[in-house]
Chains A and B, each alone.
Chain A
């Protein structure tokens, strides 16, 4: 069923035809992270797609995937473009390498899952938390509820993980 929702004042819209995204976000709404696993080659993929980027098979199954990984890169936005985010600067956009399937099918590849840095309860992180995170920071997935059938996967600092002594941050604070 189509979903129309409001997140931070920003309209989100998933129509009836977009069955891959509806399935993906339905799992997120249950606070479970699922990705498509290719029935032919067995590789997971992100974000949802119609066919497998490695073997072109159209057949896949949704399987649970552990939402843990490390920050591969990021940007820290100080000048928001979307009005919805202007109240929340500075905010972090994180590109996170999942531990699952890292370095496969080639050494440079990983499931790189986007998300903002948020508090453990899914709220965009305050400035003092933003300053702690950089490339290498260990993060775990949490969900921000938006509407029935829709929650956004997000990232928060993994309190239980061994963190790097000093994650890489842009040199000019």
Chain B
């Protein structure tokens, strides 16, 4: 949907549409990369710069995030012969992508640099398991962890589960409603040749899979994969000289929190997540509202995280997330498809970058599905969403990415087709 003519573009929201994502890059989504995180990061950054139609020497800023499981910007830049005027490697996971886009804009506004690459490189399956097994599971328990890990409350699924359960209790949300998220994302992934899991699954498949920790079945949980992913952010002026149709950044909110962010469950309702607070920054910054959004990228570490965020960012009424994710709205061909790549549940786990990558391609109207490539080098999208077919959303103009770290922390970004 095009932006309304009366969209508020007045100061102080002068950063709307001033910066753009001009390049996206990734490695194969795999389990067993056989490569270091340095190699994965280098390839992803190289691919993103090439996708933008830029040279490594055009990049002078770099941001990355990790949890002690990756490589620093200095090595990636060194490998590619990039001389940086600015870089920062921050700690963190799934609320980082959108937050770092905001930091990149700030660094460029401050005149510190002119083009920033943001990357995440991880061997989330073959080295540091994102599910928490392996070295993390046997590490000594100390400090704040004495009040959690000592009770076998350690992995993301275990720690988020009380919020999910309480949502079911408070609003009557049903397992089959939430399982629809996986079923729908698997349909999307079946039209994504890059997806790690391309098989279409049903709600019944999800409910028949074994319980990991209630309310999460195995298939409510995302996949652990090895991959590097990267995006290039620069000014909208410069974007016009890049290879693809510009995708403009409307607004961001970064690592916004509920009260008591150290122990968020101390502050109720625990069935409400950080999006409840983040939405009050995101929508005014972007100058649009949920009704203006054509596609969403609501972080699917679990089926429930997609639902809770869509609800708390206002895509439906509080408590109606179960209906929203199961009534066809978020499916390709529906009113507002979510994670058209298959997301973390199916494509691969990247701590959020791939959901931004997907929405950039959607807004270019050039998503990398199996549709034939025409004589002009562009994909001829069929909009036939049957298995193995198209996954381009028709007339896609505005997207929202909703990043999740945990129930208490989230980030988000609105982009639009330039």
Contacts and interface: CB of A to CB of B under 8 A. Distances in A.
A47 B137 CA distance: 22
A35 to B, nearest CB: 12
Contact of A14 (B146, B210, B211): B146
B158 interface: yes
Interface string A66-78: 0000001111111
Contacts of B137: 81-83
Contacts of A114: 147-148, 151, 153
Interface in B189-216: 207, 210-215
A81 B221 CA distance: 14
Contacts of A84: 152
Contacts of B163: 73
A18 B145 CA distance: 12
Nearest to A47: B147
Given A14-B146, A75-B214, A82 B266 contact: no
Contact of A80 (B147, B148, B152, B260): B152
Interface centre among A109, A110, A172 (most CB of B within 10 A): A172
B169 A109 contact: no
Interface stretch (A4-12, A56-64, A157-165): A4-12
Given A111-B266, A170-B215, A78 B142 contact: no
Given A93-B158, A108-B269, A110-B268, A77 B152 contact: yes
Q: Main SS of the interface on chain B? A: mixed
B80 interface: no
B93 to A, nearest CB: 16
Interface string A23-39: 00100000000000000
Nearest to A46: B266
Contacts of A14: 142, 146
Nearest to A11: B140
B270 interface: yes
A10 B267 contact: no
Nearest to B155: A81
A18 B143 CA distance: 7
Contacts of A7: 150
A156 to B, nearest CB: 14
B213 A108 contact: no
A15 B142 contact: yes
B175 A95 contact: no
A112 interface: yes
Interface centre among B146, B148, B149, B212 (most CB of A within 10 A): B146
Interface string B236-276: 00000000000000000000000110110111111000000
Contacts of A108: 267-269
Given A72-B166, A75-B162, A168-B169, A109 B267 contact: yes
Contact of B140 (A12, A53, A116): A12
A73 B141 contact: no
A47 B142 contact: no
B147 A74 contact: no
B209 to A, nearest CB: 11
B131 interface: yes
B270 A81 contact: no
A119 interface: no
Nearest to A84: B152
B138 interface: yes
A91 interface: yes
Given A13-B142, A78-B210, A170 B151 contact: no
A85 B152 contact: yes
A78 B166 contact: no
B171 to A, nearest CB: 12
B141 to A, nearest CB: 5
A152 interface: yes
A14 B145 CA distance: 10
A81 B210 contact: no
B378 interface: no
A171 B169 contact: no
Given A18-B142, A79-B210, A95-B162, A109 B266 contact: yes
Interface string A133-164: 00100000000000000001000000000000
Contacts of A122: none
B158 A75 contact: yes
A93 B153 contact: yes
Contacts of A152: 150-151
Given A81-B131, A111-B266, A73 B152 contact: no
Contacts of A93: 151-153, 158, 161-162
Given A7-B150, A75-B158, A78-B212, 12 more contacts: A10-B141, A13-B141, A14-B146, A47-B144, A72-B270, A78-B213, A79-B210, A108-B268, A116-B152, A135-B165, A152-B151, A171-B175
